Amino acid sequence: MLNKNLENYNIILGSASPRRQQFLKDLGIQFTIKPIDVEETYPKYLHGNEITGFLAELKANAFQEPLKENDILITADTIVRFSGNILGKPKDSADAKNMLRELSGQHHEVITSVCIKTTKKTKIINDTTIVYFDNLSEEEIDFYISNYKPFDKAGSYGIQEWIGYVAVKKIEGSFFTVMGFPVHKFYIEMMKF
């Protein structure tokens, strides 16, 4: 359905994320991939989806080519918020272990924002999901990090991977938001084109 709505548009995904690419493919959208590399820093006074919205728009604004009339640029950002702290992508194995130790036996928020930018407007979509983790042993944490190398994932984990099978007790919200793309909200917004 979306492909018909968007047939006169050139969709550009400003992300190297294989998960985001798969979501667009599964929605039947034809698109090109043009990853945008920016330093993901934000003002410290921002909170929650203000952070992800700011970073998603920062990526869109860093796109090197001028957008044409029929271009739609899509960028996104995801963070994990736990006990008032923001957990981004881990720097290394030690950082990933520390994050997973913190999340073990606790619940946290996963916040994802998507920026949809054209020559005429910029729209930010935000979504938050609460994830409840079972207790993880040191052995389980080591196994996951060694075998799945979650260094490109906020909070050091991918819910769609092994750790999601064994540690996630329940979620309140969208599974896909935790994967880094609130597909349900994105679909509604794109159907307006």
pLDDT digits (tens, 9 = 90+) for 87-114: 989 999 999 999 999 999 999 999 999 9
Q: Catalytic site residue 77?
A: yes
For position 86, which CATH number holds? Answer: 3.90.950.10
Say what the pTM is.
0.93
Q: How far apart are CA 134 and CA 100, in angstroms?
A: 11
**Does residue 164 carry a pLDDT above 90?**
yes
Residue appearing with tokens 């599964």? 26
Expressed as residue numbers, the domain containing 77 is 2-190
Digit-coded pLDDT (tens) for 8-57: 999 999 999 999 999 999 999 999 999 999 999 999 999 999 999 999 99
> What SS3 state is found at 108?
strand
Number of domains in the chain: 1
Query: With 0-12 CB in 10 A as exposed, 13-18 as middle and 19+ as buried, what is 178?
Result: buried
What number of other Cβ atoms are within 10 A of residue 135's Cβ? 9
**Does residue 1 carry a pLDDT above 80?**
no
Catalytic residue among 77, 134, 142, 152: 77
Q: Give the per-residue pLDDT at 35.
A: 94
